Amino acid sequence: MNRFLSNATNKIDAKGRVSVPSAFRAVLARNGTEELYACQDFVFPAISMAGPEMLDRFEKMISTLDPFSEKANRMSLVIHGGGVFMKLDAEGRVLVTDFIREFTGITDRVTFAGRGDHFQLWEPGAFEAMQARSRSQDFRAAERPT
């Protein structure tokens, strides 16, 4: 498997670390990812994580914009000012830093949510509420011709 799929909730240990689900670690290993880029999501109260290619993708988008435009500067502020590099420890854990806690509201547990080419860290209650809200949407209605 080469995509981040499904979700899992894990407890944060006394040292502030949480185990990344084994299925997600397998995708990272398959992709040869040794360092994670983590950034604040544009829409959700979540932290998006993937290898450095995610940062490369965002920077390519920014480079297509006028570097002095408000849009380019807003994107850079989120991508660069709201992003950090992180590493998994030898046991496949990531440190849940203040950067993560303050943006997401995470306290003692983390929900990992697969998003295809990346995964996200969520406060479990916020994830459950967003999942319920998303399921209540009628996606087919948006596809119907008028």
Q: Is the pTM of this model over 0.85?
A: yes
* Ranges of each domain in the chain: 7-143
pLDDT tens track for 97-136: 999 999 999 999 999 999 999 999 999 999 999 999 998 8
Question: What CATH number was assigned to the domain covering residues 7-143?
Answer: 3.40.1550.20
SS3 of the chain: the string is: CCCECCEEEEECCCCCEEECCHHHHHHHHHCCCCCEEEEECCCCCCEEEECHHHHHHHHHHHHCCCCCCHHHHHHHHHHCCCEEEECCCCCCEEECCHHHHHHHCCCCEEEEEECECCEEEECHHHHHHHHHHHHCCCHHHHHCCC
Is the pLDDT at 145 greater than 70, yes or no? no
